[in-house]
Amino acid sequence: MSAMLCHACYAEPDAVVDCAVCRGTGRSTRMPLCRDPWNEVTPGLWQGGHDVLSQSRGACVVADQFDLVVSLVSRQGYGPAEGVEHIVARMADAVPDAGASLVLAGLADTVADAVRSGRTVLVRCSGGLNRSGVVVASALIRLGRTPDEALAEVRAARGPWALTNPGFVGYLRRK
């Protein structure tokens, strides 16, 4: 895993110098699994993954509890149920290049439109932290949040390790 941001200070200039977790480096090398398969970030918009701490084998299998599922990794046997709209779009866990930025913008538009029209949406990746996080945060920005509000909402829902990919944080703040 490439260097991720420290989950305590996020390498923010005013916090990193005194950060006891990363000892001032702003970096982290570990990223634990989340407890929950998915969490609601804002009403109607959920973020999750395929790998969580839960011991239940079926914990991350989606049935028909969402109207739209956006999967940034695809795995057999993880749903959603037939009849549920399912968008599969592979995305690298890296700084979005021009092509990836276009894909990301399209997904964020789709997710924001669905939430606006009252549909329930799940955006999921592997751990449910970074790739799903950058799509959800981009959708939140379209729904009126500032980039920093979007970052905070995603981390509040999925835990402090969400959006620790520095490339994604930079992408969101450039919006």
In the chain, which ranges are E strands? 4-5, 27-28, 38-42, 45-49, 68-71, 85-88, 121-125
Contact 67, 123 (CB under 8 A): no
Q: Could you give the count of Cα atoms lying within 13 Å of 53 in the half-sphere of its Cβ?
A: 7
Query: Closer CB to Zn ion, residue 160 or residue 167?
Result: 160
Among 4, 5, 6, 69, binds Zn ion (CB under 5 A): 6
> CB of 26: closest distance to Zn ion in angstroms?
6
Cα(57)–Cα(24) distance, rounded to whole angstroms? 39
Q: Which stretch binds Zn ion (CB under 5 A): 22-30, 80-88, 112-120, 139-147?
A: 22-30
Task: Examine residue 80 and say whether the peptide bond preceding it is cis (omega within 30 degrees of 0).
Answer: yes
> CB of 63: closest distance to Zn ion in angstroms?
39
> CB of 132: closest distance to Zn ion in angstroms?
23
Q: Does 4 bind Zn ion (CB under 5 A)?
A: no
Q: Which stretch binds Zn ion (CB under 5 A): 21-29, 54-62, 92-100, 111-119?
A: 21-29
# chain residues binding Zn ion, by CB under 5 A: 6
